[in-house]
């Protein structure tokens, strides 16, 4: 998951949680404030009703209508009361022919509750217990809060809509801020891709303070690796030159008249000289696998294959092989040119050596870059196919060679994390397919 996406998801979760908690807190506060105001109002109404109660000597009671609000006189006004003693109960005219059942409660106790009233109204009620003139009274005062609930619900919906719009705006602003903050990293990513393709030798982009030390260390590492590679290749070249000079002296010694009279010794010297020569050539070719300072350079495949074909046709002029190639238009090889020439040179040379007349090479690209080389020779037994890339292995000892060509190709393919496949060609000879992963 990208850093930008992580930041966006984290902020989205945090803001959503914050807005949800804020929504819940505001809703709770509104409900508490509304409930407190309702209780204060109902408490005042209950005290007023208590003052209007006049108890007769026989225990019955009357309500002084002058002290009762007109809200309790209009039918289904949403304001109701019920007053009860041990003997009887009276209720407000606003209940009309409806009734509310209440339970007697002891003096000094207060109970608040919600219940369904006339016309399915949602009522908020307050029960109070009183003691007046030697009698226990229970007074219940109720108010319809359906409209209040609807107002609270509308407020919640409006607040949710405004919060959602605010969340989207905040996320968009955050997306712009994060995108701008990550632009240096995107430039660094492009330069890393250019470094892989060989378009640059170091990273020039400047990054944030947290990233800049890593860029500097990476550039130092690239410089160190380049210097070490150059020193290693130079050392190998010097060593090969020195050894070739000694080999020349060894060959000259083997040709002296005194040595010619000792054929066994001369044969041993010649064999040692040939073995050392092969080792030197092998190590020089392996040195090319170290790559160049800019290993991702683009190579024109068609041009290189055309030049290789001409060289091999001159080398095998006695056979005059016909080399056909088929390459996808505008296809480029992204890698070290020396690696490409070494790989294709060995594959085509091997095909020209064993072919009768025709050699075919095709290059195409899908998930991998494919190089397919075929010849019309006698081919190779299937039991020997797996042994072909082994160093020094030769399927036919009658044909001159060192047995190193396919082994070197195998080393190059391994250095690119690719694979090399052997099979019988439709032309009759050997088919070698090399698959190299794409470098983008």
> Do 88 and 221 sit in the same domain of this protein?
no
Burial of 227 (0-12, 13-18, 19+ CB in 10 A): exposed
Q: 306 and 390: one domain?
A: yes
Domain contains 308 = yes
Instruction: Count other Cβ atoms within 10 Å, centred on residue 231.
Output: 10
User: How deeply is 153 buried, as exposed, middle or buried, from its count of CB atoms within 10 A (0-12, 13-18, 19+)?
Assistant: exposed
Between 170 and 397, the more confident residue is 170
Asked if residue 81 has pLDDT above 60, the reply is: yes
In the prediction, which pLDDT does 378 show?
A: 85
Which residue, of 287, 306, 341, is where some domain finishes? 287
pLDDT digits (tens, 9 = 90+) for 251-297: 787 788 777 778 888 888 888 887 777 777 766 666 555 554 445 56
Q: Is residue 165 part of a domain?
A: no
pLDDT for the residue 434: 93
Average pLDDT estimate for 301-319? 87
Q: What is the pLDDT of residue 403?
A: 52
Domain check: are 348 and 314 in the same one?
Answer: yes
What is the rounded average pLDDT for all residues in the chain? Answer: 81
Kindly report the CATH number assigned to the domain that includes residue 73. 3.30.450
Residue 45 is assigned to a structural domain of this protein = yes
Residue 245 lies in a domain: yes
The beta-strand segments (E) located in 67-221 are 79-84, 89-91, 110-116, 122-132, 135-144
User: Given 287, 314, 336, which residue is the final one in a domain?
Assistant: 287
Using the predicted structure, report yes or no on whether residue 379 has a pLDDT greater than 90.
no
State residue 142's pLDDT score: 92
User: What pLDDT is attached to residue 285?
Assistant: 61
The pLDDT, as a whole number, for residue 132 is 86
**Structure confidence at residue 104 (pLDDT):** 86
Answer yes or no: is 342 within a domain: yes
CA separation for the pair 360, 339 (Å, rounded): 20
Note whether 233 and 276 are same-domain residues.
yes
SS (HEC) of 293-353: CCCCCEEEHHHHHHHHHHHHHHHCCCCCCEEEEEECCCCEEECCHHHHHHHHHHHHHHHHH
Please check whether residues 277 and 332 belong to one and the same domain: no
In 3-state terms, what secondary structure has residue 115? strand
Judge whether 206 lies within some domain: no
Residue where a domain stops, chosen among 104, 129, 150: 150
| CA–CA separation, 99 and 419 (whole Å) | 91
One domain for residues 230 and 109: no
Q: How many domains does the chain have?
A: 3
Q: pLDDT (tens digit, 9 = 90+) per residue, 210-246?
A: 777 888 888 888 888 777 777 777 677 677 767 777 7
Residues 274 and 327 in one domain: no
Q: Kindly report which listed range (38-52, 206-220, 236-250) carries the lowest average pLDDT score.
A: 236-250
Q: Are residues 320 and 267 located together in one domain of the fold?
A: no
Residue ranges making up the domain that contains 385: 297-437
Residues 36 and 138 reside in one and the same domain: yes
| Mean pLDDT, residues 363-381 | 88
333 and 416 in a single domain? The answer is yes
- 306 and 395 co-located in one domain: yes
Predicted pLDDT of residue 318: 85
**Domain of residue 319, CATH code:** 3.30.565.10
Q: What is the pLDDT of residue 361?
A: 93
Residues 283 and 301 in one domain: no
CA 145 to CA 157: how far, in whole Å? 18
pLDDT level of residue 199 (50, 70, 90 thresholds)? low
Within a domain: residue 97? yes
The answer as to whether 369 is a domain residue is yes
């Amino acid at each position: 998951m990208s850093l930008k996406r992580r930041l966006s998801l984290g902020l989205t979760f945090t803001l959503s949680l914050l807005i949800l908690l804020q929504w819940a807190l505001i809703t709770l506060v509104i409900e508490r404030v509304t409930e407190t105001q309702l209780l204060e109002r109902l408490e005042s109404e209950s005290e007023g009703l208590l003052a209007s109660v006049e108890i007769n000597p026989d225990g019955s009671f009357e309500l002084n209508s002058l002290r009762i609000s007109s809200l309790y006189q209009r039918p289904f006004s949403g304001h109701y009361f019920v007053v009860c003693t041990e003997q009887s109960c009276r209720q407000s005219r606003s209940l009309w022919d409806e009734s509310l059942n209440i339970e007697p409660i002891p003096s000094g106790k207060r109970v608040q509750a919600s219940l369904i009233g006339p016309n399915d109204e949602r009522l908020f009620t307050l029960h109070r217990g009183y003691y007046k003139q030697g009698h226990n009274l229970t007074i219940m005062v109720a108010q319809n809060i359906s409209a209040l609930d609807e107002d609270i619900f509308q407020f919640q919906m409006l607040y949710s809509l405004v919060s959602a719009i605010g969340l989207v705006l905040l996320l968009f602003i955050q997306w712009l801020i994060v995108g701008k903050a990550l632009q240096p990293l995107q430039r660094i990513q492009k330069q890393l891709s250019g470094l892989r393709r060989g378009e640059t030798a170091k990273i020039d982009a400047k990054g944030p303070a947290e990233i800049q030390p890593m860029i500097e260390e990476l550039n130092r590492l690239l410089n160190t690796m380049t210097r070490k590679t150059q020193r290693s290749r130079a050392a190998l070249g010097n060593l090969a030159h020195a050894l070739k000079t000694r080999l020349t002296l060894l060959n000259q010694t083997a040709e002296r008249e005194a040595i010619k009279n000792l054929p066994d010794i001369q044969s041993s010297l010649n064999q040692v000289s040939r073995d050392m020569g092969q080792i030197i050539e092998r190590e020089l070719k392996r040195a090319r696998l170290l790559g160049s300072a800019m290993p991702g350079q683009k190579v024109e495949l068609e041009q290189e294959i055309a030049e290789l074909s001409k060289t091999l046709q001159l080398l095998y002029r006695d056979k005059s092989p016909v080399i056909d190639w088929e390459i996808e238009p505008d296809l480029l090889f992204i890698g070290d040119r020396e690696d490409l020439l070494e790989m294709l040179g060995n594959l085509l040379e091997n095909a020209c050596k064993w072919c009768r007349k025709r050699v075919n090479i095709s290059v195409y690209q899908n998930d991998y870059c494919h190089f397919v080389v075929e010849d019309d020779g006698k081919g190779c037994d299937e039991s020997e196919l797996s042994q072909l890339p082994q160093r020094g292995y030769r399927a036919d000892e009658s044909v001159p060679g060192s047995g190193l060509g396919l082994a070197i190709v195998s080393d190059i393919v391994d250095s690119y994390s690719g694979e090399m496949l052997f099979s019988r060609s439709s032309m009759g000879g050997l088919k070698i397919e090399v698959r190299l992963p794409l470098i983008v």
